[in-house]
Amino acid sequence: MGWIDRLSTGWKAWVLLFALTITAGAPGVFNLPALDRDESRFAQASKQYLETGDYITIRYQDEYRNKKPAGIHWLQAGSSAALGEGERLDIWTYRVPNWIGVGLATMACFWLGIAAVGRRSAFIGAVLFGSSMLLTSEAHISKTDGVLIFLITLQMGFLLRLYLRKDNDRRNAIAFWVVHGAGFLIKGPVITLVAGMTMLVLWLWDRRDHHWMKSLAWWPGPLISVLMVLPWFILIQIATQGTYVEGAVGKDLKDKLVSASEGHGGLPGYHLLHLPAWFFPGVLLTVPAILLTWRYLRHRTLESLGDVDRDALKFLVAWLVTTWIFFELLLTKLSHYILPAYPALALLCGWGALKLMEGNRAPVSRYVSTLLFLVGGVALAGFTAPWVVDLLQADKAGDFRTATAEQVMAQWGPDGDYAMYLWWAGIAAVILAAIAMIVRRIGWAVTGGVAAALLLGWQARIYVLPNQTWIQATETAKLALEEVCGIPRKDCGETKGPDRVLALGYAEPSYVMTLGTQNLHPPETPLDMPEDAAVYPVVYLVNLEDPGVPDQFARVEASAEALGRCSTRSEPYYALNYSNNDPTAFIAVRYEADCPAS
């Protein structure tokens, strides 16, 4: 246990845990373009805070975005104001709050775990949580989940201390409600749901003992939480003419509860099937942790739990099981929804790892968990392998109507240097961890698993994902625009860039976020050329694969011809729009008011 004690004590433990998580996610923060669709919608709404000076109403271009509260937009706008330049189109500046949030979440997991399962187990659990693929993936997406998981974990830490100490410490209760108010401003009632379900199960489990909850009912706490949210809520209701609640509750929340919102559905077991990859490398300890937890909670006559209170295991189980069941039964399913359950699972895995080090054998569960770990490792290795990308390209190249598969593949081709040394090192670490688990060298198994997660994650975020322009439709569209000097407000030598781009057959949020709020997309795109020569050049981005575009583009061309406008047209650029799995074939057409002399 010496190495665990050295790493888990003092200030270095906190620094190491924070650094582990933000280092794992850092390449994606800076290397990846704006993602569709939610990330770009969030970032665009935050950018419009800076553009308009209105920090109450949430908008996406000219439309209200009445879905989530404003907290994350305040953080993103502040981050971009501090770090961004010019029109603040750099997506990484909006990712920083989530990036820092996941690092703080790992530290909060450690802080919670110290009280729940002891410092050694807490450190192992926090390492597994901080290196998990789902958490480190959320680090480089400018949404709510990185900040939210930090606040949920912190709130659950205060709740745990109230439950274990049974002292009704009002300071812990006030801290609980302050964090709750902040979490509600980030993503509404999710933070309420996680804590509330846990408290309900503990109340039933403890035969309706509620005395430890009394300080939570002390009026200043709930009042502070309400006052943190209420002023903004009133202001946005006024600003949106009372439509915010209708959109956020009557549509967004209701759609998620009663149907598969936006087509994101799945059967119960959806999150369980994703566990080997998303909870990698923690899945290596998951089955033994569940078995040992069940054994210790069921049989009171077993050996002492040492410095671990039985109530602490009950708390983690109540948190994990209720959250997991809720999101498995929720009709709308996205893989990141289950993240609030991961800190509890990770701490149980850390406790299970320590029990295995102390002599528990759990042979069958170790083998099963090792198999799940290998399944996750193979999935991640396959995702980051260049030959798998080649197979996907070959499969999708035949979906185009306006080009042959050969034409598409000739343009896509090998893209970028994959630098396979990280991939091979990751595979070696997966094998090392699996062997170590089988031979009961648990410390080496954890170390190998974390190394595998870091290496395969870096391979994906440094070399694989940034190079896949063929599935980054907006980045492909920019190639067509650059060919005709069509990037908004960017001159090419003496050639003037346009003020905006007018898109036909393409309306992804990354297009607006990357090129600017002023750019238009269907159905707002005008089909008649302007008569005023001062507004030229006029640039259209045309997706020839959209069935309705040929007729629309023909009208644009006829209007240009009638006004005597000259045009320059790019070559076609092909991409797969991963948001809807549709092929896109872009051309950019630049119209000038005056034709050059022949």
What residue has token string 């990751």? 426
Question: Which of the residue ranges 50-64, 198-212, 380-394 would you say has the lowest mean pLDDT?
Answer: 380-394
**What 3-state class would DSSP assign to 70?**
coil
Pairing of strands 63-64, 59-60: antiparallel
Beta-carbon contacts of residue 400 (< 8 Å; ≥ 6 apart) = 408, 545, 574, 583, 585
DSSP 565: -
Q: Rounded distance, CA 409 to CA 72, Å?
A: 40
CB 357 within 8 A of CB 443: yes
Q: Rounded distance, CA 509 to CA 504, Å?
A: 14
Q: How confident is the model at residue 302 (pLDDT cuts 50, 70, 90)?
A: very low
Nearest to 38 by CA among 81, 13, 67: 67
Please tell me the predicted confidence (pLDDT) of residue 151.
98
Q: What is the 3-state secondary structure (H, E, C) of 295-312?
A: HHHHCCCCCCCCCCCHHH
- pLDDT per position as a tens digit, 217-271: 999 999 999 999 999 999 999 999 999 999 999 888 888 888 777 767 889 999 9
Reported pTM: 0.96
Identity (one letter) of the amino acid at 49? Answer: Y
What residue has token string 């090192």? 425
Q: How many CB atoms lie within 10 A of CB 209?
A: 12
What residue has token string 């704006």? 34
Kindly state the percentage of the chain with pLDDT values over 70: 97
> 448 vs 13, 68, 121, 284, 371, CA distance in Å?
19, 39, 17, 10, 15
Please tell me the predicted confidence (pLDDT) of residue 264.
79
Tokens (6 digits) for 318: 């109540």
pLDDT of 306 higher than 60: no
- pLDDT per position as a tens digit, 180-217: 999 999 999 999 999 999 999 999 999 999 999 999 99
Nearest to 588 by CA among 470, 471, 484: 484
DSSP 53: -
Q: How many CB atoms lie within 10 A of CB 589?
A: 22
Identity (one letter) of the amino acid at 87? Answer: E
Q: How many CB atoms lie within 10 A of CB 551?
A: 9
Beta-carbon contacts of residue 297 (< 8 Å; ≥ 6 apart) = 310, 313, 314, 317
Q: Rounded distance, CA 143 to CA 29, Å?
A: 12
DSSP 591: E
**What 3-state class would DSSP assign to 525?**
coil
Whether residue 530 is preceded by a cis peptide bond, meaning omega within 30 degrees of 0, is: no
What are the backbone dihedrals phi and psi of residue 384, each rounded to the nearest 5 degrees, phi first? -100, 10
Rg of the chain, C-alpha, whole Å: 27
pLDDT of 167 higher than 50: yes
pLDDT of 418 higher than 80: no
The chain-wide mean pLDDT, for the chain, equals 94
Beta-carbon contacts of residue 371 (< 8 Å; ≥ 6 apart) = none
What are the backbone dihedrals phi and psi of residue 9, each rounded to the nearest 5 degrees, phi first? -110, 150
User: Average pLDDT, stretch 441-456?
Assistant: 97
- pLDDT per position as a tens digit, 329-348: 999 999 999 999 999 999 99
Nearest to 448 by CA among 470, 425, 476: 425
The alpha carbon dihedral of 450, 454, 455, 456 has a sign of positive
Q: Rounded distance, CA 62 to CA 81, Å?
A: 22
Tokens (6 digits) for 153: 């974990």
Beta-carbon contacts of residue 348 (< 8 Å; ≥ 6 apart) = 117, 125, 289, 290, 293, 313, 316, 317, 320
Please tell me the predicted confidence (pLDDT) of residue 597.
63
> 234 vs 229, 231, 244, CA distance in Å?
9, 5, 10
Beta-carbon contacts of residue 332 (< 8 Å; ≥ 6 apart) = 255, 256, 257, 259, 260, 261, 262, 264, 265
Please tell me the predicted confidence (pLDDT) of residue 303.
47
